[in-house]
Amino acid sequence: MKPLIGLTCSIGLEENYQYKETNYCEAVRGAGGIPILIPSFSEFAKDIPQLVRNLDGIIVSGGNDIYPMHYGEGPIQALGSVHRERDEVELEIVKECIKNKKPFFGICRGLQVLNVALGGDLYQDIYSQIKGKELEQHNHSKGTPPSNHSIEIKNDTFLYDIYKQKIGWVNSSHHQAIKKVAPSLEPIAWSKDGFVKAVVHKEIPSIFAVQWHPEKMYHKDHFSQQIFDYFIDLMR
């Protein structure tokens, strides 16, 4: 039986449609899973415990910013678009995945959701909040090179087992980042300018997240393929 993998949706600008880019679904299917889209609306949050129990694994995908009230801050001017319904659903998903030890893969925003849900916080915008330090370009978008910057990978981690070396290259597109790491998470990769780029739960290693977009490189990059293969293999 192929594992059933929930994929959280993004919300359209007019908030009357929800979607997920095809490359997420292709990456899950290519690794041997069946993708199932998870919508985000407030009334759905109460059904998350049932949903998580009936899925084999969950991917919290990339997307808009997290509302800073979830980590005790007010919004700054450089905060991007937020959707509180999506925050509510995805934070509840993290809670249930921890409770049920359900395999969880956070991608970009998904890493930030995981960190906030477990007591960490974020830079709302790294480029306006960090002064006196030259930062790499983390917020790449369309038309930019597929491998944007390097990461340093911690030894004795699943990422090191995939890359087989201390340095990897990743494609990122974010302006928020982890500031304080949640106590139950272990950082396992960093950018050259010091941002956490991957984490794993200290007690539940099947719960992990990365601050880049391996789904966009799935058909081009062997390492991106292996990250999805690793996640799906956790359920076999």
Could you read off the pLDDT of 70-92 as tens digits, one per residue? 999 999 999 999 999 999 999 99
Tokens 């925050």 found at: 87
Query: Catalytic one among 70, 138, 201, 213?
Result: 213
Query: Catalytic one among 25, 108, 149, 174?
Result: 108
Is 203 labeled as catalytic in the residue annotation?
no
Q: Give the pLDDT confidence score for residue 133 in this predicted structure.
A: 82
Query: Catalytic one among 88, 92, 96, 215?
Result: 215
- To the question of pTM greater than 0.75 for the whole model, the response is yes
Q: Are 189 and 151 in contact (CB under 8 A)?
A: yes
Is 215 labeled as catalytic in the residue annotation?
yes
Q: Is the per-residue pLDDT at 147 higher than 70?
A: no
| Token digits of residue 71 | 């980590």
Q: Are 41 and 89 in contact (CB under 8 A)?
A: yes
Q: Look at strands 10-11 and 18-19 and give their pairing.
A: antiparallel
Cβ contacts of 162 within 8 Å, gap of 6 or more: 223, 226, 227, 230
Is 222 labeled as catalytic in the residue annotation?
no
Report the SS3 class of residue 161. Answer: helix
The Cα–Cα gap between 45 and 91 comes to: 9
